[in-house]
Structure formats: C-alpha cells, structure tokens
Amino acid sequence: MQKALDIFVICFLLLFGVLSVEGHSVGAILNYGSRSGREEKVAMETAIEDINNLTNQGLVLHTMDSSGDPLLAASAAMTMINEHHAKALIGLATWQEASFVAELGTRAQVPVLSFIGTYPPAATGRCPFLVPLAHSQVLQVKAIAAIIRSWSWKKVSLIYEDVEYTATTIIPYLADALGDTDIYSRVALSSYESSFSEELEMLRCRQSRVFVIHTSIQLATRLFAEAYKNGMMSDGYVWITTDAITSKLDHVNSSVITSMQGVLGVKNYFKPSAQTSDFIKRFQRRYHSEYPKEKRREPQVSSFTAYDTIWAIAKAMNKTNVSEELKKVQNNSVNGPLFVEISKEGWSLLDGIKRSNFTGLNGEFIFKDGKFSLVNAFQIVNVVGKSYRELGFWLPDCGFSKNLESKDGNETSMKNLGQVYWPGGPWSVPKGWVSPTSNKPLKVAVPAKAVFPEFVTVKKGSDNKTLAEGFSINVFKKVLEQLSYPLPDDFIPFNCSYDSFLEDDQMQNYDILVGDTSISSGRYNFVEFSQPYTASGLVLVVPVKSDLTDKAWIFLKPFRGSMWALTAIVSIYNGMVVWMIERSCNMDFRGSFWNQSAALFWLSFTTLLSPGEKLHSNLSRLAMVVWLFAALVLTSNYTATLSSMLTVHRLEPSLVNVDSLKSSNAVVGCNNGSVVGKYLETALGFQHKNIKLFSSGDDYYQALKNGSIQAAFLRTPYANLLLSKYCTELISTGPIFHVGGLGFVFPKGSLLLSDFSEAILKIFENGKLEELEKAMRANYSCSGVGVNATDVDGLSPENFWGLFLVTVGISTIALVVYGLCLHKNELKCPGKSTEEAKNKAVEFVSGAGDDKQRNEVHPNEW
C-alpha cells in the first residue's frame, strides 16, 4: 500500500511539473553530425541547468537533430510547436534551414533565434519572428578591405557559396569597402558540385592572385584541397577567409590545415567574461561524458553564443510572464492543411528578447536597432604548421592593433602586426597578381604606320623580329625601367586605324598598345587608358602669311589708335604748360592768335625729340624734363615694336579663329582614324565635307602650303613637332581646345594599368619625359615652336598709364605753382636786368644794332 502511494505521489509530481513548465519549453534544432552542433547542444543543456538552479524558472529544453536538412528542420519545428508547445526555437546554422523554420515561426508567432552567419537583408522584414544571432557583414568586409589595402593589392577575386543570399550581402558590402580596389572576378561554387577543377583553372589562368573566400567550412575544405592539388597554394597566391571559415579552424582535421598553409583569416573576437573559465570546465566534463570518443578541446564561439541565447530567452520569459494559454489555428498551405499553435505572448516575448542587454560568456549580449550586436573586434590569424598564429586585431574605430589593451597599432596598415607566413613559404609580400610574362613575353601592339613617324616607327630586325622606335616607344621603355619587376616585350604591328583596332575589340589579344593613341571618353567603352604622357590640348596650325600688305603705313602699327591719341593730348598739354610759363620771357610766344598757336604746337611736338626752345623758368624746365623722360620711354618702345613687326611674320586675320573658318567654309585637316574629326563635327560645328583626313605629317605641310586646307587641327605634341620642322612657314594660333592627351592602351581589367600610370607620373616628375620631348625636336633646325599670332601686337595706353599720369601730374603742379606764386613777377625774367632792357629798347627804336640784337629785345623790356 505504501509503495503504491509513493508511486502515485511521484506520478502526481511529475505530472504537475510537466504541466507547470509546459508553457516554458524551448526548442533547439541542431545538426548532430557536426562538432559545432553537438557543442551547441551541450552548451544549451548547461545553460538550462544553471537557470533552473539559480531561478527555479522551470525551463525545459527539447532538442532535435536536423542533420543539416531543411525539410527535417521544418518537420522538427512543427513538432516543437504543436507537441512540445515551444515558445522559442534555437539553432539552425544554415540559411536553408532557417528560411523554412522562420516561415513557420512567423505563422505561429514563435521567435526563431538562428545561428546563421549571413542572411538576406530583407529576411527579417519578411519574417519578423526571425532573430539572426549574427553580426553585420559590413564590419567584417571592412576588416578584409583594410587587409587588402595594407598590402596595396589592386585586384581581388571573390569566391562565394552559390546560395540565394550571398550575392546580395557580402558582395555589395565588399565592393563598397574596397573603394579603388576592384573585384576582379566573382566565382560562385555549389555544394552539389563534385569538383571545382574548372573554376580553379579559370582563376589560375587570370592575373589576379588575391582570393577572398566566403563559404561554409564544408565547402571551404573541399576548395582548399583542390587548390592544393592544382598548385594554387604556392608562392605568389593570397587567400583570405571570412569568419564563416576562420572560426571553424579549431575543429577541422590536420589534412585540411595542411592544405591551407599561409591563409589569412578574419574571425569575430569575443572578449571572455569572468564566468567563461568556469563554464569551459563544466562544459568539457559534460561533453566528454556524452561523447567520450572525441578529443577534449575548448568549445568554439558558437557554444558560448548558444549558452547566452538560452539566458536571453529565460530573461525575456520572466519579464513577459509567459502563460500556457495557446490557441490552435488552421492555416492552409500549398500541400494541404497546416495546423500550428499560436502563442498569445509571441510578440511580447520577441520584444523582450530584442531588449536583452546583459553580460554573457561572449561579453555584451545586446541588440541595437532591433539587430543583434555582439562583435566589436576582429581577430587576424595566419594558418601555419598544425594550427594558426594570432597576428592581432582590427577594430572599427582604431584599425589594426597588436593587442586590444594597448591599441597602439597603425590605423591603416596591418604591417605592424608582425611577419606573415604566405602560401608557398616565402616571407616576402606577394605582389597580388602575376605578370603576363611569367610564361610568355608581354604582347605589345604597335601601329605599322603612324601619322607622325617620330612617335612610332616599326621595322624588321636582322632576325626578322619586329623592332619599334620613336618617342612613344622611348616613353614605354622608360616606364619599364620604373617598374619593380621585369617585363620582356614582343612588338606586334597592326595595319588598321586606332578606331578600327579598338572598336573591333582586338585589345583582348594584347597586353598593351603603345603608340600615339589619343585618350577619349568614347574609347573607354572598349579599353582603358594609362595616365597621359603628353600635354593635353588641340591647337590650330596655319601657314605664315603677312597681313602687312601696305608697308608704307607700317610705322603706325607699333601704337594703337588710342595710344597715338593719348600721346598727342599729353604732348599738347605739356606744351601748353611750358608756353604759359615761358610766354612772359619769350617774345616768340607773343603776338597774334595764329602765331601763338603755331608756337604752342611747335613746342609740344619738338620736345618729343629734343628740348627745343631755350627755357628760362625752373618750373617749365621741371615739366620739360619729366616729359622728355616719358618721350624717351615711348620712343624706345615704339622702335622695339616696329622692329618686331618688320621681322616677325603675322597671320592673316580672317583665318585665325574657328568662327571665321566655319563662316568661309574653309577646309581643315586632322589625323585619319583619330577622335579629332568627331570633335570638329560635334563640338566645334564643322561640316563633314570640310574636314580632310591625313595619314602623314608631311602631308599637312604640303596641304597648308598649296592651299588644299586653310588650317590643321592637331594635338599639342603633333603641333609642337610640326612647328619644330617648319617654324618659318607654319604657326599656331587661337585658343587651346581641351581634349585628352596621348596614353597607353590596356584591355579592360588589366592589372598593369595602375603600375604604368604610376611609372608615367614618376618620369614626369624626374624630368625624363621632358628630355625625351626635347630629343625628338632636336633633330630639326627649329628647336622652338612657332610664334603665335597674338605674340606681337600694338602698344596701348594700358601699358603706360603710370608714365602718363606722372608727367601730367608734374606739369599740372608746375602750372599751379606758377599761377599762384610767380605770375605777378612776369616782368622780371631771369638773367636780364631792367637797365639792360631799357638800353636795348633804345637801340631798337633808333635803329642801332643789327637784326640779331633787335630780335633779342623782348617786348616786355621796352
């Protein structure tokens, strides 16, 4: 009887316990086939035990194995919700599993906390009850981009798992974080493929040697094993793995580590809390008791996250006071009726979980803006030997650091983290790409016949090998000297125009085109250009033709009309000032109006060449000295300008600008196969029939001389060369039209482009390029460029306004002083006494004395 009573009590207590905690059930859907899945299960069981011991909350954990199968995961979720009345679901390490269960969780209003590493951006919007416990990819790709920039790698190849969400998550973030570094290629791998040989062979044949891998650990192990067999884990290669792979390195076998030697990895770093060490001891005992055949090792990060997640759910349930009230609702699916139980407290529990903010095993367990925010640092590791080395950390705010405490690292470079062991064993930093000369020489396309052979000339050598020379070739050779690696070349000529060559996509068969190729926006649709190695611009070249047909009037040309007028006015004004001051002492300045007017003009203009009349007043002498100085300056400039006009040819004024050429329907010339012809039509408005194309520089000279064309539009380097040859017969005129210069051509995506552009800038800065230009023009008698039509011109008042201001000012001051102070003493002329004046007057009246004496007697002395 007592035994039966005891059994009844036990059954009652068990029944009561089940009923009391039925509303506090938590479901875990894990992959028991993986070490991480088993560790997560043990971590959750440990958390349930700790919670019930500390809080008496009565949480019940139900776990089921999905084996990584989405359908099994969905079936397990149905069982958890309908049979075990789970208020929350945890686990689901892959998006394929999580996507199925998230739909069911949303229908049942049961929060689904998933350990997925990445997920589609719109997933949480479509399934609001999905709570991904993964960090944002934005920070992780920034850490990867910082590593790539540290070593100045310009091109990277991205290898990712071909699942629905990857292309919309990490790729856009990585492209944005890399900035000026390009994603050279993207390769999607499927877990259903038996071999990756074709994809790896395609990557091996390309120049880029930097690979960023973002796949599951299962796919990554197969990929690296295949790459190891194909020799792609050797010298020159760079492999960078994301957290999805790096965080699992502790749990892969030695053969996988052997195939990954030299790999750089980025993984989430969690600062352990004080309770972590105690958890690890208890975890290891429990795990070893359940799986005694497995090696004893520390749990991985996902185990800590699983432990903290159980605590987050327990805290949220405690705050929301979850009850056992359930409502059964029938929903129709495609395959038939689907019954799920909907919890009334589903939204409250979800809100409580997203308000979690506590310190767990992984540090702060917190949500920001409704998203899980756990990682604030990334650890950089390097696979070496049987495991990996921890190089340092990358933090969003302070960049790279050797350790988190000091934070003394370089903010932009990981080079201070120490030596990196690269694939193949060398300690030197890989270049990040392989030059095309690793197996064959650089294929250099050159034009068989250039418009100006001084730029490119092709000929055959004694061994029938193509040789090239000229200015563009010399620049190319100087650029090769600046590169840090050798580039043996092989010149291959082509016989069509540049436009035909580029638009036919023939650059895909070459590594570079070296020639006098013009840079234009339209050509960027087919190829890429280096930094220009010549000055940019388009100039107008015309034949020299004098406009001084009536040389009888050339003496008027040095001064403009306004200059002549101002000179005459100032001369008259200064003459008038001297006349007014001297008229009291000089009888020639008296008499009739016409006599005085003639004297005034004579005095004004004779002073341009000499002092003229003898002056008696110091004031008039002062005004005359200043004016004589001004006259000296004007006459010297007049003489110099007239000499220039007599010796320098000038252009016909009607043919020195674009408008006059268009209005007169003049025929103009430009290079055949050049973008200049299109520019003349579209930008400058010339008619197609009035544009003549030339294939030789000497043809320009002949056409300009015989009148076939009235002007030639040439790029600045061509114009400089042509004028160096014919500087006495041709001349440049008008403004410089802004168009691209000459540059080297590369196929789209070429890795040589950035190095060549940098090398061109170096030879610009060290003066080598200027020396090559001078050497090209030194072969001709005219070393300089022809004089522009606007170089010699008449002088205007703007050139001498200061001089005129000084002389007019001094004359005015002298006149004012005379008028205010000295005009009352006008009968007392300097140098003549009153008595002498009276005697001369008597002699004059009596007829005594000769005519010379009579003339010396001033009327005022009478």
What CA–CA distance (Å, rounded) separates 139 from 600? 92
pLDDT in tens, 659-684: 888 888 999 999 887 788 889 998 89
Question: Is residue 530 situated within a structural domain?
Answer: no
Q: Residue 820 gets which letter from DSSP? A: I
- 142 and 262 housed in the same domain: yes
What CA–CA distance (Å, rounded) separates 604 from 598? 10
- 165 and 258 housed in the same domain: yes
Question: Is residue 819 situated within a structural domain?
Answer: yes
Among the candidates 309, 338, 370, a domain finishes at: 370
- 278 and 355 housed in the same domain: yes
Q: Residue 268 gets which letter from DSSP? A: E
What CA–CA distance (Å, rounded) separates 95 from 114? 9
- 250 and 303 housed in the same domain: no
- 149 and 97 housed in the same domain: no
Under DSSP, is residue 187 helix (H, G, I), strand (E, B) or coil? strand
Give the pLDDT band of residue 311 (cuts 50, 70, 90): very high
Lowest model confidence (mean pLDDT) among 284-288, 295-299, 691-695: 295-299
pLDDT in tens, 708-767: 999 999 999 999 888 888 877 888 887 888 888 899 999 987 878 888 999 999 999 998
Question: Is residue 82 situated within a structural domain?
Answer: yes
Which CATH number goes with the domain that contains 410?
3.40.50.2300
- 360 and 386 housed in the same domain: no
Lowest model confidence (mean pLDDT) among 5-9, 207-211, 266-270, 432-436: 5-9
- 165 and 249 housed in the same domain: yes
Question: Is residue 786 situated within a structural domain?
Answer: no
Question: Is residue 557 situated within a structural domain?
Answer: yes
- 143 and 262 housed in the same domain: yes
- 62 and 121 housed in the same domain: yes
- 559 and 612 housed in the same domain: yes
Position 823 scores a pLDDT of 58
- 177 and 279 housed in the same domain: no
- 163 and 280 housed in the same domain: no
Which alpha helices (H) appear in 157-275, and where do they start and end?
A: 166-178, 197-205, 217-229, 243-246, 254-259
The domain tally of the chain equals 3
Position 592 scores a pLDDT of 61
Report the pLDDT averaged over residues 340-359.
Answer: 84
What CA–CA distance (Å, rounded) separates 614 from 616? 7
Close Cβ partners of 823 (under 8 Å, ≥ 6 residues apart) = 584
What CA–CA distance (Å, rounded) separates 689 from 702? 20
Q: Tell me the two tokens of residue 431.
A: 């270049």
Question: Is residue 406 situated within a structural domain?
Answer: yes
Number of C-alpha atoms within 13 angstroms, CB side, residue 617? 27
- The highest-confidence range among 376-385, 433-442, 566-575, by mean pLDDT, is 376-385
Judge whether residue 96 has pLDDT over 90.
no
Question: Is residue 40 situated within a structural domain?
Answer: yes
Which alpha helices (H) appear in 657-778, and where do they start and end?
A: 658-663, 676-682, 697-706, 716-725, 753-765, 768-777
pTM above 0.75, yes or no: no
Q: Which residue has the tokens 């973008």?
A: 675
Range of the domain at 299: 23-134+274-370
Under DSSP, is residue 419 helix (H, G, I), strand (E, B) or coil? coil
pLDDT in tens, 560-617: 888 888 888 887 887 777 777 776 666 656 656 566 666 666 666 665 555 555 666 7
Question: Is residue 542 situated within a structural domain?
Answer: no
Count CB atoms within 10 A of the CB of residue 489.
18
Position 654 scores a pLDDT of 40
Query: What angle (nearest 5°) sits at the alpha carbon of residue 316, between those of residues 313 and 319?
Result: 150
